């Protein structure tokens, strides 16, 4: 089994051009940039925060079945939501808990994770039960 894996790794090394990737460096979270004028190693360091700097964070307490209008901070482009209960969100309008079909595109979204804001300045949030919501804005 180990001989087969060694043969497979050796075969891959001959198939992949050396200026694109060096297999031993790849296995050690390192790579060689083909755009680099030198063949120096560029370390690849895993980041548990995925390189997202903490943004503008607001927290809210929702009363059951009552829309909360949130003003988007100036310059924000993206928003992330976290809540202790199901929430319905409408970027750019008033959120509503569905009581039937909404087929004109104005419905609210259940538990969105992240959204692009564009030029919108208001976000509506509503929940069927009391909830705590964290809303994080990013540029």
Number of domains comprising the chain: 2
Whether 70 and 103 share a structural domain: yes
Q: Per-residue pLDDT tens for 57-107?
A: 999 999 999 999 999 999 899 999 999 999 999 999 999 999 999 999 999
Give the three-state DSSP class for 4: helix
Q: Against a cut of 0.75, is the pTM above it? A: no
Whether 25 and 87 share a structural domain: no
Q: Look at residue 61 and tell me if it is in a domain.
A: yes
Write the DSSP symbol of residue 12.
Answer: H
Residue 9's pLDDT is what? 47
**pLDDT band at 52, cuts 50/70/90?**
low
Q: Look at residue 51 and tell me if it is in a domain.
A: no
Question: How far, in Å, CA of 36 to CA of 48, rounded?
Answer: 27
CATH code at position 78: 2.60.120
Whether 25 and 63 share a structural domain: no
Question: How far, in Å, CA of 122 to CA of 68, rounded?
Answer: 10
**pLDDT band at 139, cuts 50/70/90?**
confident
Q: Look at residue 48 and tell me if it is in a domain.
A: no
Residue 86's pLDDT is what? 98
Q: Look at residue 50 and tell me if it is in a domain.
A: no
pLDDT averaged over every residue in the chain: 77
Domain range for 116 is: 56-138
CA atoms within 13 A on the CB side of 131: 22
Whether 67 and 34 share a structural domain: no
Q: Look at residue 49 and tell me if it is in a domain.
A: no
Whether 39 and 61 share a structural domain: no
Whether 28 and 69 share a structural domain: no
Whether 27 and 62 share a structural domain: no
* Better-scored residue on pLDDT, 28 or 45: 45
């Amino acid at each position: 089994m180990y001989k087969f894996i060694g043969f497979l790794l050796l075969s891959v090394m001959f198939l992949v051009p050396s200026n694109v990737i060096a297999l031993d460096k790849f296995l050690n979270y390192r790579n060689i940039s083909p755009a680099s004028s030198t063949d120096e190693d560029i370390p690849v360091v895993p980041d548990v925060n995925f390189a997202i700097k903490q943004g503008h964070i607001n927290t809210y307490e929702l009363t059951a079945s009552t829309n909360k209008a949130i003003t988007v901070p100036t310059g924000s482009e993206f928003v992330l939501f976290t809540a202790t209960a199901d929430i319905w969100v409408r970027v750019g309008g008033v959120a509503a808990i569905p009581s039937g079909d909404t087929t004109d595109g104005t419905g609210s979204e259940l538990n969105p994770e992240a959204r692009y804001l564009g030029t919108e300045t208001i976000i509506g949030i509503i929940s069927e039960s009391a909830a705590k919501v964290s809303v994080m804005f990013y540029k």
